[in-house]
Structure 1
Amino acid sequence: MQKHGLDEVVKSVSLLYNELKAPFVNRDEEAKVLVLALITREHALLLGEPGTAKSALARRLASLVKARFFKYLLTRYTEPSELLGPLDIRALKEGEYRRIVRGKLPEAEIAFLDEIFNANSAVLNSLLSIMQERIVYDGYSEIKTNLWTIIAASNNVPEEQELQALYDRFLFRHRVEPLPPEYWDPLLEAAWNIERSGYESPSPVMDLEGVKRAYEAVLTGVDVFTIKDKLIKIFMVLDDKGFHVTDRRKGKILKAIAAHALLEGRSQAMEQDLVVLKYTVPRDPEDFEKINTILMEELKTKDRILRELNAIASNLDSTTDIIDKAASFDPRLIDYYRSLKSTKTKVQSLVEGIDDPEIIRLASEIMEKIDYLIDKALSKLNV
């Protein structure tokens, strides 16, 4: 893909992400997962209790890309015809086996399936072929679907063996937690506005052709092998800690990494793009937090960098006090001078290749302070 075309795709995807998350309180990460699923033509599973904006996010995503939308709550009594459409009786009388799919899942481009693991075996078999091949094998016929992405929701990770194949079809899995107390104030304001005015229908920012161009850009416009060695190392770390990643999922994770780089405005994957492993590796409920912790330790994630920079800033406060009180020619000043030089190198290494404004601002402030303290130490040493 040519640079101009890639730049246009990047702008469109960024706008889609910003518009998707805009009306929701602290649902940025959920919006990111759905956009990543969309531009990789994969499926996403949102795990969590009801009332956490899962279906609202899915519906808004479909509206923003002008996609035909299908929503259904599954129970163990759900019949295939409820999803796939009823049999065409007139055609059946003429010896033709056909379904009326208008307004049903085969016609949809984005679908939201609530409580998906309640599906019975008849529905389950149809969903597996739809998710994998975008085809329904229905009796004596094959129904080609228009489906691009399924977004599903569930309260729990399935334990039943017969549901594991369905669970594995979701490349992206994310736990949706209730909002913590610090967000209750804006939540109440947003909820009250919805009660009074309802959900505002968003203006589309792209169409399915634009989504397809984004998908092409993920596959052909992003260099993912720049981080191959680091990715292999992380796979080894995860495997050592008991988190096995199947060969098929390893390959698909490359697509998720490329999509994250594209969403961040880059045509080259970087270490911070490996953060998508927290959406693509977890299986059991307890895995989500454990894998996130491992990634924070192993990767240059924003949280990790900010944590390290804040620790350095705190240490500099103590160093400032010591240098201020040190007498001229105090031999300890030489040790502090060397330590400050080493700290500056560490800060530069931490932010190398990072373009996050918050990180850059904090790092710049820290390096200015380090330079000030170095000058002050040298002045007291009369150097």
Structure 2
Amino acid sequence: MTEASVQQDLSLLKSIYHSTTEMLNQYIVGNDALVEVLVIGILSGGHVLIEGVPGTAKTTIAKAMARLSGCEFRRVQCAVDTQPADIIGVRVYDQEAKDFHLRKGPVFSNILLIDEINRLNPKTQSAFIEVMSERQATIDGTTLDLYSPFFVIATQNPYEFEGTFPLIEAQKDRFMFSFTSRHLAGDDELEVVRREHTGALRWQPYLERLKPVMNRTTIEHLVEATSRVHMEEPVLQYIRDLVVATRMHGDVRLGASSRASIALVRGGKAVAALQNRTYVIPDDIKKLAPSVFQHRIILEREAEIGGITPGQVVDEILAAVEVP
């Protein structure tokens, strides 16, 4: 693939991204940063964890993005009694055929929304590890490949504890990126009020207006084009220094894994691609680092008691590590 062809693909990506944000902004208010992270996740072939209080449009954005992608979309509304078979599928006996047939679960889709993932018990959470990491599911000893592309968007409310289970570390590490969704600022909140008053927040009419701006083939092509974005050795070393710094920080009990390094490489290329650049700069990595590190860092008990947050640790690391 030549430099000219990569640039042509990035121009196509720019046009699609512009159309995506334009359509979403007709309904969604003040969530451009989340939309960008979701697009980066799709281009990187990674999954995204969205944390935030109810009513911050997490599920709405995920559903609208799926509609614009032109891909098959499924949703899992999580509950304490949700079982692995409800997620990956099960073999059911057919009385007429006198044989078992496979009833595929919602993981057999292109975009999977896992709503309130922390309501799943640890056993059911574990069912996602193979699915998210290896893009396959094992049902009654038979391993089946998932569809391509396969992209998971999971939401959770970090402030609600009754009937919830903290995500196991192996599960969190499978999410390439995370995003914290917060309440809107005053001006954006006023815009929501105005849109509700004028009837612009009616979901069904908006959904009917949403037309796909891409399809599975386009997504796979853009993922490949993004992987061709160039990254110089000093930027690669900068990624290494940031990841190692998370493991050496005094307030951190467990730092970022090598999956974080991979996420910064792939995500950095996606950030550059969205800027219509064929090369990555350190600022691309710096911009992406909080989304890669925050959900992976485990703090020392003393740091947690002292009110230190993973976000503060990431900010300290970004300020301390020398930028090439």
TM category (shorter chain) comes to: 0.7 to 0.9
Taking the aligned partners of 1:287 and 1:6, their CA distance within structure 2 comes to 36
Inter-CA distance 106–226: structure 2 relative to 1 (3 Å threshold): same
Secondary structure of 1:228's aligned partner: helix
Do 2:118 and 2:167's aligned partners in 1 also have CA atoms closer than 8 Å? Answer: no
Taking the aligned partners of 1:22 and 1:293, their CA distance within structure 2 comes to 33
Do 1:226 and 1:269's aligned partners in 2 also have CA atoms closer than 8 Å? Answer: no
Rg larger in structure: 1
Taking the aligned partners of 1:49 and 1:161, their CA distance within structure 2 comes to 16
Taking the aligned partners of 1:57 and 1:145, their CA distance within structure 2 comes to 24
Residue 46 of structure 1, CA deviation: 0.2
- Are positions 1:287 and 2:310 aligned together? yes
- Are positions 1:188 and 2:188 aligned together? no
Judging by fraction of residues, say which structure has more helix: 1
Taking the aligned partners of 1:86 and 1:231, their CA distance within structure 2 comes to 42
Compute the TM-score of the two structures, normalised by the length of structure 1: 0.69
Q: Identify the residue that residue 262 of structure 2 maps to in structure 1.
A: 251
Taking the aligned partners of 1:162 and 1:278, their CA distance within structure 2 comes to 19
Q: Identify the residue that residue 277 of structure 2 maps to in structure 1.
A: 266
Taking the aligned partners of 1:233 and 1:121, their CA distance within structure 2 comes to 33
Q: Identify the residue that residue 132 of structure 1 maps to in structure 2.
A: 133
> Which deviates further from its counterpart, 269-278 or 180-189?
180-189
Do 2:69 and 2:213's aligned partners in 1 also have CA atoms closer than 8 Å? Answer: yes
- Are positions 1:88 and 2:89 aligned together? no
- Are positions 1:35 and 2:36 aligned together? no
Secondary structure of 1:71's aligned partner: strand
- Are positions 1:17 and 2:28 aligned together? no
Inter-CA distance 87–236: structure 2 relative to 1 (3 Å threshold): closer
Taking the aligned partners of 1:197 and 1:70, their CA distance within structure 2 comes to 18
Q: Identify the residue that residue 149 of structure 1 maps to in structure 2.
A: 151
Of 64, 68, 75, the match for 1:64: 68
Taking the aligned partners of 1:151 and 1:263, their CA distance within structure 2 comes to 20
Q: Identify the residue that residue 338 of structure 1 maps to in structure 2.
A: none
Taking the aligned partners of 1:299 and 1:105, their CA distance within structure 2 comes to 44
Residue 89 of structure 1, CA deviation: 2.1
Secondary structure of 1:111's aligned partner: strand
Residue 57 of structure 1, CA deviation: 1.3
Off by >6 Å, runs of 4+ in structure 1: 157-162, 296-300
- Are positions 1:208 and 2:220 aligned together? no
Count residues in correspondence: 297
- For 1:6, the aligned partner's letter is V
- For 2:194, the aligned partner's letter is E
Residue 263 of structure 1, CA deviation: 1.2
Do 2:88 and 2:107's aligned partners in 1 also have CA atoms closer than 8 Å? Answer: yes
Residue 95 of structure 1, CA deviation: 4.7
User: 5+ residue gaps in structure 2?
Assistant: 299-307
Secondary structure of 1:88's aligned partner: strand
Taking the aligned partners of 1:161 and 1:74, their CA distance within structure 2 comes to 14
- For 1:181, the aligned partner's letter is G
Inter-CA distance 266–247: structure 2 relative to 1 (3 Å threshold): same
Residue 71 of structure 1, CA deviation: 0.9
Judging by fraction of residues, say which structure has more strand: 2
Do 2:48 and 2:153's aligned partners in 1 also have CA atoms closer than 8 Å? Answer: yes
- For 2:288, the aligned partner's letter is V
Question: How much is the aligned-residue C-alpha RMSD, in angstroms?
Answer: 2.9
Of 168, 174, 177, the match for 1:169: 174
Do 2:239 and 2:261's aligned partners in 1 also have CA atoms closer than 8 Å? Answer: no
Inter-CA distance 202–249: structure 2 relative to 1 (3 Å threshold): same
- For 1:219, the aligned partner's letter is S
Higher relative contact order (CA 8 A, sep 6+): 2
